[in-house]
Amino acid sequence: MSKKPDRQPIEPDDIDISLIETAERILAEYFFDPDNEDIYRQQLSARRSRPAGSVILDEATVDVFDSPCTVRLEAMRTWTMFRVAFSHRDFGASVEGSWSFDNQELLKPKVSDRRGDRETLQDAIDQIDEYCFSTDPEDDIDELDGMVDPEEAEDDDYAAALIGDNPAEPPAATAVDRSRIKAIAKRLVRQPGTEIKTEDHIWLTQAPQTLPVITEALIAAAETADADDPAVTAYGVLLSMQLELVRYRQDRGWAWADTMLRDFQQRLLTFASQGGNPIVFMMMAQAMTQAKIPVSDDMQHALAEAGFTDEDVGTAEQLAETMQVTLDEMAAAMDTPFQVIETLGNAGAVMPSDMRGFLTDLLARSSHDIMRQAAGLMILDPDPAVRQGAVAALTETARPETLAPATLRRIIAVRNWLPEHEREAVDTLIRKARLAGVEIGSWPKMPPDAEYHASMIDGSGAQSIIVVSRGHRTGSFRALLLRHGKGIVDAWEDADLSRGRLTQMLRSAQQEVPMAKVSRDFVDSMVQHALGCAVETQTVPPPSFLQVAEGLNGVDWKARRLDIAGESERLTAEPPAVDRRPDDRHTALTKAAGYLTDTQTLSTWFEEGPHVAAALKTLPRNDPERLAGAVMADILPNRRAIWAERFLLMSLWCQASSDPRYRRMTMGMAATANALTRGVPLEHIAAMGVIARQTVTCALAAPW
């Protein structure tokens, strides 16, 4: 008798996967109540002597396609085996598997009894998910859309509720949260290289409490797989994303975000001290660096030393030898000094300032030109002590054979981006290099076909500038992220892209936020204004900004803050040519309020943070006019200069835009900025009333 051929298991399709994910979430929701697990154990023990069969643990009827659908959770005879069954006149399916109570995961799932076409099943799953797992929209629809329902306002319980009654921090993660994190990670594993879904990104933004869940899931995945396993990579992506989202809340001043990020760093220390995988440790440390999490010098020392003894590190001489070997290997592998700095920067969270200073000295004295050029970029280190150490090391080695012309050119450019009290030492370095005969390198040529695009400014003051050069066969994509009021937040470039890829990247950016073609003059003015803000706040742009500046021939970029009052007066006196009958100032102020309510990005212009919660905490939630009045009286007066700058910069963007729709907004934005600088009472500036109301909407919707 011939041997039967082995039957390969059928891979689940996307409908099966959706069914399995829904079943997992149903199980996680059911067993979130510890009493349900106790009841299940009792029922399982009681039926050991009975005939085989399943026991219904829970059952619900969901309205799907205007007809009832029965969703049933059954416990099988074998411990931890469950079935989730869906029964409807137009479709049906069952999902069976072994439930892991520890990991909240359905193991070895199998879909059976499936009927109905793919489209019907997917639509049904979406409706079931919405019914079972969505929050009740009645909870805050009134607050978000209409502020307060009149009938609800008469309810004594609601009337007594104050803004300050909100919890002070996010709740602990639930079983449903853990299940969704796993579902998102699984999708990333199935489709490597794809971006996270928009709805998942929004959910992560609203669920910062999942940061420890993601951390533990990453550690658990690394225990059973290699560090480059797709599951480990997926959780690493989620970790970087959630760290950045929590850091945004930290930037707003929320104390719970500080605590959450400190707890993450402490977990990283514990992981290392317990002998955790060093590759995974570096992955988590790199995620902190990428998310720009501020790490104290003490914590950097602790992270750098975690899991190592003095014998591991050796003497200073041995450490220098070890680092020199690493630098030699990097010199052979890297093409530009910017790549060197980027690679070294990935370990920023575990490299304290004294270690970076030691490294800078090694770079300046290296036998490799690329490493000596990298030392010049350390002048843009975020730590002042490292910057000063870099200048000192370069001053000692400022000779033609050790200081490249390109490095001297960069030092001259960077000098204008540093805090003023640091420039004298740089001037000494430049003079010594010139006296020693070091030539000044020439700036790279500007791409002849550069296209400039800039985004509308969002509520956080962020603005993206994108410069595309299409070339003949390949082109370049350069981007800057400005945070007005702070400086240059980020910069990156890719100088070897196909025309198709360039178009795709630009289109993707345009879908995220309104963008417009602008002039080079506008870009120069925004960049120099951001540099001026950075100098005032004693910060410096990242080294990647210098790389973009080189590609765009930014030889004249210096720290030059705009005169907000003067520019707003100029713009209101010179209405754009697109306005055939320019508005008077009163009409322009009224129109500006409409722009804020009618433009999605401008609807994010509001105040948010603990200062808002503190100002409103004793006021009732059911009195939006009183809340808005408090914002106008107690919050916005101290923020007048910030909003004047915001409106002025938006008016300049509108003026520079190639889109007539945006150019027509110039006068309204400029008039609002001008009114703010002239001290016009806030109640006479219509747009500020909109900002106050948008602030109240945000405060009412805030869960904590």
Q: Pairing mode, if any, of strands 474-483 and 67-75?
A: unpaired
**CB 344 within 8 Å of CB 392:** no
**CB 672 within 8 Å of CB 649:** no
Phi-psi region of 679 (alpha: psi -120 to 50; beta: other; left: phi over 0): left
The burial of 416, by beta-carbon neighbours within 10 Å (0-12 exposed, 13-18 middle, 19 or more buried), is given as middle
Determine the Cα–Cα distance for residues 359 and 375; give it in Å rounded to an integer.
Answer: 9
3-state helix, strand, coil in the chain (%, to 5): 60, 10, 30
Residues 73-93 have a mean pLDDT of: 91
Residues 241-266 have a mean pLDDT of: 95
| 83: Cβ contacts below 8 Å, ≥ 6 apart | 54, 72, 73, 74, 76, 94, 95, 96
Determine the Cα–Cα distance for residues 83 and 72; give it in Å rounded to an integer.
Answer: 8
CB atoms within 10 A of CB 192: 10
* Segment 529-544, tens digit of pLDDT: 999 999 999 999 999 9
Q: Which amino acid is at 207?
A: A
Alpha carbons within 13 A on the beta-carbon side of 699:
33
Determine the Cα–Cα distance for residues 78 and 452; give it in Å rounded to an integer.
Answer: 64
**CB 549 within 8 Å of CB 557:** yes
Determine the Cα–Cα distance for residues 27 and 101; give it in Å rounded to an integer.
Answer: 10
Of 252-261, 571-580, 624-633, 634-643, the one with minimum mean pLDDT is 571-580
Locus of tokens 């999490």: 293
CB atoms within 10 A of CB 532: 17
* Segment 112-126, tens digit of pLDDT: 999 999 989 988 998
**CB 239 within 8 Å of CB 218:** yes
Three-state SS string over 379-444 comes to: HHCCCHHHHHHHHHHHHHCCCCCCCCHHHHHHHHHHHCCCCHHHHHHHHHHHHHHHHCCCCCCCCC
**CB 203 within 8 Å of CB 174:** no
Determine the Cα–Cα distance for residues 607 and 697; give it in Å rounded to an integer.
Answer: 10
Structure token pair of residue 184: 């998102």
* pLDDT score of 149: 46
Q: How confident is the model at residue 30 (pLDDT cuts 50, 70, 90)?
A: confident
CB atoms within 10 A of CB 365: 15
Locus of tokens 């988590």: 284
Closest to 19 measured CA to CA, from 98, 118, 159, 90:
118
* Segment 407-465, tens digit of pLDDT: 999 999 999 999 999 999 999 999 999 999 999 999 998 888 999 999 999 999 999 99
**CB 656 within 8 Å of CB 601:** no
User: DSSP label at 494?
Assistant: E
- Does residue 27 surpass a pLDDT of 60? yes
| 639: Cβ contacts below 8 Å, ≥ 6 apart | 607
C-alpha pair distances (Å), 50 with each of 248, 459, 610: 57, 64, 60
| 618: Cβ contacts below 8 Å, ≥ 6 apart | 162, 163, 164
Determine the Cα–Cα distance for residues 95 and 128; give it in Å rounded to an integer.
Answer: 15
| 51: Cβ contacts below 8 Å, ≥ 6 apart | none
Determine the Cα–Cα distance for residues 479 and 470; give it in Å rounded to an integer.
Answer: 15
Of 48-52, 590-594, 692-696, the one with minimum mean pLDDT is 48-52
Residues 34-39 have a mean pLDDT of: 76
Domain extents for the chain? 14-134, 175-311, 314-435, 451-551, 564-701
Q: Which amino acid is at 107?
A: L
Closest to 478 measured CA to CA, from 392, 574, 551, 407:
551
Q: What is the H or E stretch that residue 87 is in?
A: strand 81-87
What average pLDDT does the structure give for the chain?
87
- Does residue 481 surpass a pLDDT of 50? yes
Q: How confident is the model at residue 201 (pLDDT cuts 50, 70, 90)?
A: confident
Determine the Cα–Cα distance for residues 302 and 291; give it in Å rounded to an integer.
Answer: 19
- Does residue 602 surpass a pLDDT of 60? yes
Beta-bridge partner residues of 545: none
Locus of tokens 């490249």: 404
Distance linking the first and last C-alpha atoms of the chain: 71
* CA-based radius of gyration for the chain: 30
Return the exposure string of 492-503: e unless at least 16 CB atoms fall within 10 Å of the residue's CB, then b.
Answer: ebeeebeeeebe
- Does residue 278 surpass a pLDDT of 90? no
Q: How confident is the model at residue 564 (pLDDT cuts 50, 70, 90)?
A: very high
How large a percentage of the chain has pLDDT more than 90? 58
Q: How confident is the model at residue 322 (pLDDT cuts 50, 70, 90)?
A: confident
Phi-psi region of 274 (alpha: psi -120 to 50; beta: other; left: phi over 0): alpha
DSSP string across 554-581? -TT-------HHHHHHHHHHS--TT-SS
Structure token pair of residue 616: 């409103």
Residues 96-121 have a mean pLDDT of: 88
Q: What is the H or E stretch that residue 517 is in?
A: strand 515-518
**CB 393 within 8 Å of CB 419:** no
Beta-bridge partner residues of 491: 480
Residues 364-371 have a mean pLDDT of: 95
* pLDDT score of 141: 32
pTM of the entire predicted model: 0.76
Report the side by side order of strands in the sheet with 462-469.
487-498, 474-483, 462-469, 451-455, 515-518
